[in-house]
Amino acid sequence: MKELTFETLLAVFEEIFGRGLFWGMAAAALFITLLYCFVLIRDRAISWRKFLAAQLAMPFGAVGAVLFVQAMTHSGFEHIGGPVDVIVLAGVAILGAVGTAILVYTGQSLLRPPQRR
């Protein structure tokens, strides 16, 4: 692979996760992002209590994302070969943490909308 293109990345992700799971995850991420935007527009303010709960869930999302990718690639931590692997796993953990925070905040806001005064 001489150059990294968007099409190459899509092919790699489809190969790792399978076409159905990859596009299902992409659709779920888009749907949750749209719900998050809806919640922010509807509430017109951030609930700091919900934000704190979402932040407390972030480590679980980071660990879950790393374990999920390890399971999907049929590899383990003993297969980490160098700095690039560590950087990729750190990126997966960060994305898992942020995604979990958005999911938790959105879920809380949809289940318990703010009280209007």
Task: Assign 84 a pLDDT band (cuts: 50, 70, 90).
Answer: confident
**What is the residue range of 58's domain?**
6-111
Residue 51 lies in a domain: yes
CA distance linking residue 93 with residue 58, whole number of Å: 9
Structure tokens at 56: 């407390």
Residue 1 lies in a domain: no
Residue 116 lies in a domain: no
Q: Could you report the per-residue pLDDT of 108-117, keeping only the tens digit for each?
A: 999 988 776 6
CA dihedral 68, 70, 73, 74 (to 10 degrees): -110
CA distance linking residue 50 with residue 101, whole number of Å: 10
Residue 21 lies in a domain: yes
- Residue 59: the pLDDT is 98
- Residue 30: the pLDDT is 96
Total number of domains constituting the chain: 1
Residue 117 lies in a domain: no
- Residue 1: the pLDDT is 60
- Whether pLDDT at 104 is above 70: yes
Q: Under DSSP, is residue 42 helix (H, G, I), strand (E, B) or coil?
A: helix
Residue 72 lies in a domain: yes
Task: Assign 19 a pLDDT band (cuts: 50, 70, 90).
Answer: very high
Structure tokens at 10: 């899509």
> Which residues have C-beta within 8 Å of that of residue 25, sequence separation ≥ 6?
17
Mean pLDDT (the chain, rounded):
91
Burial class (CB within 10 angstroms; exposed 0-12, middle 13-18, buried 19+) of 78: exposed
Q: Could you report the per-residue pLDDT of 54-79, keeping only the tens digit for each?
A: 999 999 999 999 999 999 888 888 88
